[in-house]
Structure 1
Amino acid sequence: MVRLLLSVSVILLLNACAKQPYAASNKIYKTKVKALAKSIQTKAVPLQPNDIKQPTENIYTTNFGLRKPNMVILHYTAQNSCEQTLQTFTKPATEVSAHYVICKDGTLHQLISDYLRAWHAGAGKWGNNADVNSSSIGIEIDNNGIDSFSKAQLNTLTILLASLKKQYNIPTTNFIGHSDIAPTRKIDPGTKFPWEALAKKGFGKWYADTSTVQLPAGFNATYALRIIGYDVTNVKAAIKAFKLHFIANNVTDDLNEAEQKVLYAVMSQYL
């Protein structure tokens, strides 16, 4: 009887572990959130008594709230499965994460609160913003960089983007890709990502027919890229990033006349 009870206990324990493969990382998440909550109650700058005259009592403002994101950065995972990505994002050693992961079947995982800073953008820059992680939401879509995105994924993505745009009042221009903010390092979400379809729904900008567009005399492509938001420290990389997003079928580091017209048409929407 004792042996039977022990066997049953072992089976129940194994089943519990099997059903909660992310129990350890979930515990770390909760611990870190508690630590962050405690840290905001602490003085940001520790001062010695003789540094600055101290008040006789602490006074706190009543007017504050959580910081809100105002950008959405879209990625592909460049991994072989959603499960592999979830494992990557729940290991402290990887030091990489995102707010959301969308699996091929459309399953949506939220891994971190929108109000917290995920580590998805890296050394990215958009316009004058050189700390994209602090102002953005990162969405990773399960895709190896070769396959097309599934209908279920794109349906989930559209619903999620609509919710985020409404909740945080995110500007239409601020739905961009990882390659847009990191042109020298990244190419995701890649040439198969349906930017035009998303733009028609209000997530990002696109352009109309450019056959009648007349380029102004002395049109400066570098200036146009900068107006849109691209980091033009490396102009050739910025051109490739632009073409990944808006042209996709000829991703080189130069612009022919037709591609310059596309650039001009896109830039005109940012003026």
Structure 2
Amino acid sequence: MKHFSTRLFTLLLSGMVITSCAVNPYAATNRSYKKQAKAYAKLLKAAPLNNPEAPAYPEGDYWVGTTNFNMRKPNYVVIHHTAQNSTEHTLKTFTMPKTSVSAHYVIGRDGKVYHMLNDYLRAWHGGAGKWGNATDLNSSSIGIELDNNGSEPFPEAQISSLIGVLATLQKNHGIPSANFIGHSDIAPVRKVDPSPAFPWKTLADKGFGLWYDEDVLDSVMVLKKQPVPLSKVPQDSVLVFEQVPVHPPVPESFNPQEALRIIGFDTKDMNAAVRAFKIHFIQKDVESPLTEADKKVLYNLYKKYM
């Protein structure tokens, strides 16, 4: 019996060792993460130093550190699709120094969330881009990558987890509803993610991003001319009806380029800006010019963003 107990203990111990060794395949890169974070913490704690190559200027008698400061907070969330074939592929890409790309969060097709970088640190996810007057989105945003190859729907489990992450970010950082945007929004010339299959309206209904009024394209039938009450109209008269838009019609002076710029799009390349707008809000025929219906949607959104 004693021999059996000893053998059982040895097997259990061996199993624990094997399990602990196989828990995280990214242990090495996690150590690198902690090392870099520690180095930045040390840099933040140090007193500011003069640049010896800069023109000389007189310093105060001693260094005085203010007591009134806090961490810089992100003001945008930029959503991407990975354009890769698996979560593991993306995790590996984001842990290889030579790729020079990363994101704060990666969300798998199964809904599993990998929080890869502290929200207050700067990920390399946006690249060159512009939204409104913001030209360095990496410094002011949180990047979220969704495991999706760009030509498939986004699973319900993935979107459910994304909404949970966005709710946390909005609560923790006070991010305005209009500031939940896509990669193609900030880099319309270079990027097309997330794809037109992404459910922006579902997010907008939860408070993450703006959306146009669903009845913006609707109209109602009304009497075109009725000088007397309807009950007193002679029986032999002909009633003429016309269609009237539910929302105010788009004015003749409406400038789509100006509207896109007000919303936030970089309109230096107007064709790219229109495509990015259609990827996000129209989600069909994204390579075609703005139709009259598209302009109604754009005008409706323009009024919301003003």
TM over 0.5, shorter chain: yes
Please state if 1:119 is matched with 2:154.
Answer: no
- Separation in 2 of the partners of 1:105 and 1:49? 53
User: 2:211 matched to which residue of 1?
Assistant: 206
Given residue 66 of structure 1, which amino acid in structure 2 is its aligned partner? M
Runs of 4+ in 1 over 4 A off after TM superposition: 9-17, 47-50
User: 2:286 matched to which residue of 1?
Assistant: 251
Q: CA deviation at 1:20?
A: 2.8
- Separation in 1 of the partners of 2:49 and 2:299? 46
Aligned residues: percent identity? 51
- Residue 227 of structure 1 aligns to a residue in which SS? helix
Equivalences for residues 84-99 of structure 1 within 5 A:
84-99=89-104
Change (3 A) 1:269 1:49: closer
- Separation in 1 of the partners of 2:210 and 2:19? 49
User: 2:174 matched to which residue of 1?
Assistant: 169
Please state if 1:20 is matched with 2:24.
Answer: yes
Q: TM-score, normalised by structure 1?
A: 0.92
Change (3 A) 1:238 1:45: farther
User: 1:5 matched to which residue of 2?
Assistant: none
Equivalences for residues 173-252 of structure 1 within 5 A:
173-208=178-213, 209-211=215-217, 212=245, 213=247, 214-252=249-287
- Separation in 2 of the partners of 1:52 and 1:152? 59
- Residue 126 of structure 2 aligns to a residue in which SS? coil
**Retained in 2: the 8 A contact 1:124–1:182?**
yes
Given residue 210 of structure 1, which amino acid in structure 2 is its aligned partner? V
Given residue 253 of structure 2, which amino acid in structure 1 is its aligned partner? G
Given residue 299 of structure 2, which amino acid in structure 1 is its aligned partner? Y
- Residue 269 of structure 1 aligns to a residue in which SS? helix
**Retained in 2: the 8 A contact 1:74–1:139?**
yes
Q: Deviations over 1:99-149 (max 9, x none)?
A: 001111111110000000000000011001000000000001111111111
Structure 2 unaligned spans of 5+: 1-12, 218-244
Given residue 112 of structure 1, which amino acid in structure 2 is its aligned partner? L
Change (3 A) 1:61 1:252: same
Please state if 1:35 is matched with 2:39.
Answer: yes
Choose from 237, 262, 266 the match for 2:297.
Answer: 262
Give the structure with higher Rg (CA): 2
- Residue 114 of structure 1 aligns to a residue in which SS? coil
**Retained in 1: the 8 A contact 2:80–2:193?**
yes
**Retained in 2: the 8 A contact 1:81–1:142?**
yes
- Residue 80 of structure 1 aligns to a residue in which SS? coil
Q: TM-score, normalised by structure 2?
A: 0.82
- Separation in 2 of the partners of 1:219 and 1:125? 23
**Retained in 2: the 8 A contact 1:237–1:253?**
no
**Retained in 1: the 8 A contact 2:47–2:63?**
no
- Separation in 2 of the partners of 1:45 and 1:138? 34
User: 1:143 matched to which residue of 2?
Assistant: 148
- Separation in 2 of the partners of 1:94 and 1:205? 33
Change (3 A) 1:48 1:162: same
